[in-house]
Amino acid sequence: LNFPEPSFPLFSQTETFFVEVILPLALPKCYTYRVPQELNDRVGIGRRVVVQFGKKRIYSALIKSIGQDPPRQYEAKYILSVLDEHPVVTPLQFRFWDWLSEYYMCTPGEVMSAALPAGLKLESESLIIRHPSATPDGIELDDREYLIMEALEVNREITVKEVMEILDLKNVFPYIKSLYEKGQILMKEELREGYRPKKTACVRLMPEYSEEEQLKALFETLEKHPKQLALLMAWLSLSYQQQTITKSELLKSSNIGEGVLKTLLNKNVFEIYHAIEDRIKKKGEEGKESFTLNEMQQNVLEDVKQQFLKKEVVLLHGVTSSGKTHIYARLMEEAIQQGRQVLYLLPEIALTSQVISRLRKYFGDVVAVSHSRFSDSERVEIWNRVKEGKTRIVLGARSAVFLPFADLSLVIVDEEHETSYKQFEPAPRYHARDAAIYLASLNGAKVLLGSATPSFESYLNAIKGKYGLISMTERFGGTALPEIITADLSEETRKKMIKGNFSSVLLQGIDSAMEAREQVILFQNRRGYVPVLECGLCGWSPRCKNCDISMTYHKYQEQLRCHYCGYSGKPPVLCEACGSTHIRFLGLGTEKVEDDLALLLPTVRISRLDLDAAKGKTGPSRIIRDFEERKTDILIGTQMVTKGLDFENVSLVGIISADQLLNFPDFRAFERAFQLMSQVAGRAGRRDKQGKVIIQTFRPGHQVIKSVIEHDFPAFFNQEIRDRETFKYPPFFRLIKIAVKNKDQVLAQQAAEQLATLLRNSMGSRVLGPEIPYVPRIRNLYIRNIMVKIGRGDSLPKVKAVIRTSIETLSALKDKKTVSFIIDVDPY
């Protein structure tokens, strides 16, 4: 009923094929379609096909396998068409996808949706637009094609669905395709490029004036038109300095209107051409970037190469500004000299940094940047160039692991500890670093992880010898590491020396920096609004007995809870450490810091960089530029100020509340606190002057703070790693988080309890919860979390199987149909 019969007589090929396809949906399995015989020679594994799914919907699906056995349970529908002449997805990628969906417990369709650039996906919703230069009258169109064109006269754009209604036909794709091939219509993704070309209008002299004589003659003819002459002069003077002259540059430098340029264009003096933006060299950018290594770096490079002979993964632990990028650049260079490919992963925010432009200048157009801001068509282009091996180096955020590398030899994961490598929503909830390591092993490539503050996962692997380990302890150019001191908040509170959250130590530091006309960065992590209690005198904060994690305050129940195991208790009236009654909430945001500081220092120019400020009209770039150009003196910021920014003139960095970082209710709180503090500290100092860092804290003797002061990551690691083992946390144990969601609170709770019981039946005390998360309801769905802790001796596949079957069992119950279960493997 729902599928069209093939309308062609059978060709000589009489065999019948069935293809298993992945649909870009959260469906647990693949679906089988029948290949019309005239398409027999067009199907192939990894090619996209258009299929009807259900009564109305049309998708581009991906061929996973081809067979000849017809399905027994049902009659297969026919595929409607084949979109590709060659596979868009390589066999290696399929293996990578399989691993991802297995490891992260999601469907193949979810992986496909994440992996394929939007431009390679086609849904019923795809828009069809009349081609700007369509000539429907001058071309042979059949009735149905004509109907489509007629509809496009009325509406500028129509959907595939609407085409189905207009033609009263389900299989409309052949007509759309035919019109497309005849140049009458465009699909929306492609149109975007037409509207917003990434090209810039440039102006050049017509070739006939390259001869001196002709040019002279031109001057004479223009003598009576001073404006035109001035424009010509302006162009010539620019042409001495640069190869490419953009239209806007020319008009700006000459200060002459566009009308005059038009005249000269009409007179065939100038012509306009369009150059791709990247290729246009701006003034002062010429000259090659170089990545010369000093002796220490040269040794490190040799060491990395040595270790790659024995190890698949090497961890490069190098302090900030030790020149890790130089090492990367050399390794990349060697890879591309061998004609092979490199994947260079960076956290999303770092993709805008100066490092990118330096690498692009150095390597030229074998480098591609894969960025979420690019248009669909640009991403398809990157996809294709990577597949053909034309792009040798990809700089990208986590999703770049999905590109179809032809010959990958090296993966670099910069700032490998960054939590933004983990995807939260939607599935696949993958960790790009871990996925990249698997990807590399599939491709026979090596992995270099780089960080000044490695993740515990990676560092433990390195210490145990699974990864190679190389340390760089010196800053590039011999610049000293910043001097870090603490401001003891307990003492200053007692002596009443604190003014609006600022200690006297910090205020003095700011004063002397201002006097020396230097700049200051103040760091305050805004995540502080999680309701955690803290003693206002000594900084003590209640922690869970079982998990060693800060307890979270639940106002409506007047309770303290551990959001890992569900342990709960009454909030303390007195501080258990010092006996004081000054129990208060943590929760001091950047805005408050800004206000307080403005009151204390009315003449100082203060700006703020956080997610709210960055979302404003001008965005983060304006705030950053103003600070760079010294239009502002003090920059107050969240984590954003720690990433990929280098300011010349910052001599002082202040950390407003270290305790807020330390008391964050998460087992990784200390690890993160160390990372963040070390990173902000790295912003202090200049080439010629040692920087200074002031950490405000109630606990100056805390192990984490001591290690930060001493720049001693190994000491910190050795101390902290023991607790991880004792309390059964990663990297010794693996976590799987299951979020149970429903719009009925009672049902969510019930389902979570039942699931936990079911899981406990076979896994016992490995199962924690259900627990109410800090934000108990999101988008009208109540949430309960269950955590499963998996030890070394446990079989991961078995645990996953138990989780899967338990959820299946529960979902089959009549009253649990509306409950959803979201699995997050290795949650961050």
For residues 524 and 589, the answer to whether their CB atoms sit within 8 Å is yes
Cα–Cα dist 289/176, whole Å: 49
* By CB under 7 A, residue 284 contacts DNA: no
**Please, what is the minimum distance in Å from the beta carbon of residue 735 to DNA?**
23
Nearer to DNA, 31 or 104 (CB): 31
Nearer to DNA, 158 or 549 (CB): 158
Nearer to DNA, 160 or 614 (CB): 160
What residues between 67 and 126 interact with DNA by CB under 7 A?
71, 73-74, 76-77, 124
Nearer to DNA, 67 or 339 (CB): 67
Nearer to DNA, 508 or 818 (CB): 818
For residues 781 and 823, the answer to whether their CB atoms sit within 8 Å is no
* By CB under 7 A, residue 57 contacts DNA: yes
Query: Any bridge partners for residue 274, and if so which?
Result: 201
Structure tokens at 182: 């005849």
Nearer to DNA, 28 or 226 (CB): 28
* By CB under 7 A, residue 55 contacts DNA: yes
Q: Which stretch binds DNA (CB under 7 A): 349-357, 478-486, 772-780, 815-823?
A: 815-823
First to last CA, the chain: 48
462 phi, psi to nearest 5 deg: -70, -45
**Please, what is the minimum distance in Å from the beta carbon of residue 123 to DNA?**
8
Q: Which stretch binds DNA (CB under 7 A): 30-38, 332-340, 431-439, 684-692?
A: 30-38
Cα–Cα dist 533/584, whole Å: 6
* By CB under 7 A, residue 817 contacts DNA: yes
Cβ burial 239-248 (10 Å sphere, 16+ → b, else e): eeebebbbbe
* By CB under 7 A, residue 31 contacts DNA: yes
Output the CA torsion sign for 636, 638, 640, 645. Answer: positive
397: number of Cβ within 10 Å: 20
**Please, what is the minimum distance in Å from the beta carbon of residue 73 to DNA?**
7
Nearer to DNA, 108 or 323 (CB): 108
Structure tokens at 375: 């248009």
**Please, what is the minimum distance in Å from the beta carbon of residue 426 to DNA?**
8
* By CB under 7 A, residue 208 contacts DNA: no
* By CB under 7 A, residue 809 contacts DNA: no
* By CB under 7 A, residue 33 contacts DNA: yes
449: number of Cβ within 10 Å: 30
- 773 CB contacts (<8 Å, ≥6 apart)? 563, 739, 783, 784, 785
**Please, what is the minimum distance in Å from the beta carbon of residue 52 to DNA?**
6
Site string (762-801) toward DNA, x via CB under 7 A: ----------------------------------------
> Which of 195, 189, 202 has its CA nearest to residue 378?
189
Q: Which stretch binds DNA (CB under 7 A): 377-385, 691-699, 700-708, 811-819?
A: 811-819
* By CB under 7 A, residue 52 contacts DNA: yes
What residues between 719 and 748 interact with DNA by CB under 7 A?
743
* By CB under 7 A, residue 814 contacts DNA: yes
Provide the CA 187 distance to its chain's centre, in angstroms. Answer: 28
For residues 654 and 454, the answer to whether their CB atoms sit within 8 Å is no
Per CB under 7 A, the list member of 4, 25, 229, 291 interacting with DNA is 25
Residue listed under structure tokens 């790009």: 432
**Please, what is the minimum distance in Å from the beta carbon of residue 150 to DNA?**
25
Number of residues this chain uses to bind DNA (CB under 7 A): 25
How many alpha carbons lie under 13 Å from residue 758 in its C-beta half-sphere?
19
Q: Which stretch binds DNA (CB under 7 A): 19-27, 231-239, 370-378, 588-596?
A: 19-27
Per CB under 7 A, the list member of 54, 132, 138, 207 interacting with DNA is 54
Residue 496 burial (C-beta neighbours within 10 Å; 0-12, 13-18, 19+)? exposed
- In degrees, to the nearest 5, what angle opens at C-alpha 232 toward C-alphas 228 and 237? 145
Per CB under 7 A, the list member of 44, 53, 256, 499 interacting with DNA is 53
> Which of 200, 269, 284 has its CA nearest to residue 236?
269
* By CB under 7 A, residue 2 contacts DNA: yes
Per CB under 7 A, the list member of 135, 512, 757, 818 interacting with DNA is 818
356: number of Cβ within 10 Å: 18
**Please, what is the minimum distance in Å from the beta carbon of residue 31 to DNA?**
4
**Please, what is the minimum distance in Å from the beta carbon of residue 86 to DNA?**
24
* By CB under 7 A, residue 45 contacts DNA: no
* By CB under 7 A, residue 627 contacts DNA: no
Strands of the sheet with 446-451, listed across from one edge = 367-370, 393-396, 341-345, 408-414, 446-451, 313-318, 468-472
* By CB under 7 A, residue 32 contacts DNA: yes
For residues 192 and 140, the answer to whether their CB atoms sit within 8 Å is no
**Please, what is the minimum distance in Å from the beta carbon of residue 805 to DNA?**
18
**Please, what is the minimum distance in Å from the beta carbon of residue 78 to DNA?**
8
**Please, what is the minimum distance in Å from the beta carbon of residue 164 to DNA?**
11
* By CB under 7 A, residue 127 contacts DNA: no
Region class of 780: left (phi > 0), else alpha (psi between -120 and 50), else beta: left
Radius of gyration of the chain, Cα coordinates, nearest whole angstrom:
31
Nearer to DNA, 779 or 817 (CB): 817
Per CB under 7 A, the list member of 16, 27, 177, 384 interacting with DNA is 27
Q: How many helices (H) and strands (E) does the chain have?
A: 27, 33
For residues 532 and 541, the answer to whether their CB atoms sit within 8 Å is yes
**Please, what is the minimum distance in Å from the beta carbon of residue 740 to DNA?**
15
**Please, what is the minimum distance in Å from the beta carbon of residue 817 to DNA?**
3
Nearer to DNA, 107 or 321 (CB): 107
For residues 342 and 412, the answer to whether their CB atoms sit within 8 Å is yes
Q: Which stretch binds DNA (CB under 7 A): 23-31, 403-411, 622-630, 666-674?
A: 23-31
Cα–Cα dist 87/123, whole Å: 19
Nearer to DNA, 121 or 371 (CB): 121
Query: Any bridge partners for residue 741, and if so which?
Result: 783, 820
Side chain identity at residue 706, one-letter code:
K
**Please, what is the minimum distance in Å from the beta carbon of residue 30 to DNA?**
7
Per CB under 7 A, the list member of 10, 26, 236, 272 interacting with DNA is 26
Q: Which stretch binds DNA (CB under 7 A): 82-90, 166-174, 458-466, 812-820?
A: 812-820
Cα–Cα dist 654/486, whole Å: 10
* By CB under 7 A, residue 240 contacts DNA: no
> Which of 443, 483, 517 has its CA nearest to residue 694?
483
Q: Which stretch binds DNA (CB under 7 A): 189-197, 352-360, 504-512, 810-818?
A: 810-818
**Please, what is the minimum distance in Å from the beta carbon of residue 54 to DNA?**
4
* By CB under 7 A, residue 13 contacts DNA: no
**Please, what is the minimum distance in Å from the beta carbon of residue 2 to DNA?**
6
* By CB under 7 A, residue 754 contacts DNA: no
Nearer to DNA, 57 or 358 (CB): 57
* By CB under 7 A, residue 56 contacts DNA: yes
* C-beta pairs of 708-714 under 8 Å, 24+ apart in sequence: 708/484, 708/674, 708/677, 708/678, 708/681, 709/484, 709/485, 709/486, 711/319, 711/481, 711/484, 711/678, 713/317, 713/452, 713/453, 713/454, 713/459, 713/674, 713/678
> Which of 611, 658, 608 has its CA nearest to residue 636?
608
Query: What DSSP designation does 528 have?
Result: G
Which residues of the chain form contacts with DNA (CB under 7 A)? 2, 25-27, 31-34, 52-57, 71, 73-74, 76-77, 124, 743, 814-815, 817-818
